A and B are shown apart, each in its own frame.
Chain A
Amino acid sequence: MKRKERTEILIQGSDAIARDFAKEIEMKYTVTVIQQPENGLVLLKARETAKKSLFYLGELLVTECKVQIHDSIGIGIVKGHQEELAYWLAVIDAAYQADLLETRVWSHILEKEKENIQKNRQELQQSILRTKVSFETMDVQ
């Protein structure tokens, strides 16, 4: 599973998955923290739709952490002040970078969590769709 999809599931899903994956790696390998979780900013670049040009919308507070397993560096970065999650994400990223055996069995857990996320999203969408207007044309005398 590629990083984009993986980080979507780990951040949108339950924190327990990231925590359990990271603990599993910590128990079996030496994890060296290169950069403790710290706050920083991400500048948001957006495309406007009038002339389709780019501009900066503002900045987002993030927490970022970097760790090393063997020769592989993992980066964990997440919106807001979330030190533990940033660390867990960094360990998981390093595990994938190092192609550790454990990562191969994580896919089905992630796929299952993806289904939960989609179900929750469908419920949210359905409740939003209750506010969709159903126009009726009134009789004109």
Chain B
Amino acid sequence: MGYVAVRGGTQAIEESIKRLKYERLKKGTVLDVHKIEDGMRGLIDQVMSESSLYDQSLAAIAIKQAEGNPEEAVFLLRAYRSTLPRKHVSRMMSSEDMQVERRVSASFKDIPGGQILGATTDYTHRLLDWELEKETEESIQDWLYAYHAENRLTEYDQRHMSDITNLPKVLDYLRSEGLLASCENNDLQPEDVTRKSLEFPSKRSERLQVLTRGQTGAVTSLAYAVIRGYGALHPTVGELRVGQLPVYLDHPLDEGQEEDSYYIGDFQATEVEMLVPVTVEKERGKKEMEFEIGYGLCFGQNETKAIAMGILDNCLENPNADFPSQNEEFVLYHIDSVESTGFISHLKMPHYVTFQSKLDSIRKTKEKASTGETGSGNE
């Protein structure tokens, strides 16, 4: 049975959209987009990462319009993104150029440059702070003034300044120790999943792009399943960095000249390198332990997602039919926010015709069964 067009819902839809606006406004409060941008960093970062579009102001508008619902906000931003021209591709970015704001390792206590906690909830008590109810503009100005005064550079500081740009990477240390296989730069140009649909087996660039724009919850849950036993990985965080990455563009007519490139600004990103111990069979069946790397990089301070991305990256580099988390089609086709929430939520849209056809089939089956029963009773 094919689809049949019906009409009659126009007025109801218009009133429903009005009702939606009423629900957002009924308490008479105007939510300032600047306040969303300034005070909801976690949600902004999540929405930008899942939208694959970095702009805090746009994310704040999307969050306001979506009444704080991330899946709707991501949908709005992805739709807006599709209306904009793609003007340039950046010069290659490297995390070595990151202006580090936070950097920790769970594998090594003493890393060159040290463990820098930065801003993190990791060591907070998770007790509700009732003082926030009473927070005022004046009280935060006092706090900020004191904080800046505390952090003002002294002459001693200036003399003993440590530079945290270009911090050495933990992986480089392992590579120099021979504990990790060294590899050369691979300059093969990446595929873009927003322009060309995924085909399996996928390329590494496609897998990383799908993982970085994946829904935070989905990426995290699948990685959690891996560690709980639905996968064959036991990883540790080699290094986690949060910081600002600079973006440069080549001149359209003068590509490749670094000194003549355009700097256009920085953006915040989280990078994670997961160390995964593996047993490798060497000559004469001799087995040795080695490390493999799982790589995670995403927009904003999204640490759980970046760790989960690193776990899934390594899973997909080592396909294993025993575990769905090591099946690239299973993982890559199910973690996109717009695709998964779009499909699941479309189930509530009218399916009258398809459902009627199923209902007819069930009725006919039941009729046949009852006729059969009556028939057999007559025999």
Contacts and interface: CB of A to CB of B under 8 A. Distances in A.
A68 interface: no
Contacts of B262: 3-4, 7, 75, 77
Interface in A49-66: 49-62, 64
A116 to B, nearest CB: 13
Contacts of B48: 58
A127 interface: yes
A128 to B, nearest CB: 6
A42 B205 contact: no
B208 A48 contact: yes
A50 B90 contact: no
A7 B264 contact: yes
A132 B117 CA distance: 6
Interface in A89-115: none
Interface in A1-56: 2-5, 7-8, 11, 39-56
B43 interface: no
Given A7-B262, A42-B264, A61 B58 contact: yes
B190 A49 contact: no
Interface stretch (B7-15, B130-138, B265-273, B365-373): B265-273
Contacts of B188: 53-54
Contacts of B205: 53-56
A43 B90 contact: yes
B264 A57 contact: no
Interface string B270-304: 01010000000000000000001111011100000
B295 A49 contact: yes
A131 interface: yes
B314 to A, nearest CB: 8
A4 B53 contact: no
Given A3-B262, A49-B95, A75-B262, A129 B164 contact: yes
Contacts of B267: 44, 60, 79
B47 to A, nearest CB: 12
Interface in B22-75: 48-49, 52-55, 57-58
Given A7-B264, A58-B54, A60-B54, A123 B153 contact: yes
B91 to A, nearest CB: 7
Contacts of B206: 55
Interface of B: 48-49, 52-55, 57-58, 81, 84-95, 99-102, 109-110, 114-119, 151-153, 157-158, 161-165, 169, 171, 183-190, 192, 204-206, 208-209, 212-213, 246-249, 251-252, 258-267, 269, 271, 273, 292-295, 297-299, 313
Given A3-B259, A42-B247, A50-B273, 19 more contacts: A51-B183, A52-B184, A52-B185, A53-B190, A56-B205, A57-B93, A57-B212, A60-B247, A61-B55, A61-B84, A75-B251, A77-B88, A77-B249, A79-B264, A126-B151, A126-B161, A128-B116, A131-B116, A135-B109
Interface of A: 2-5, 7-8, 11, 39-62, 64, 75, 77-81, 119, 121-123, 125-133, 135
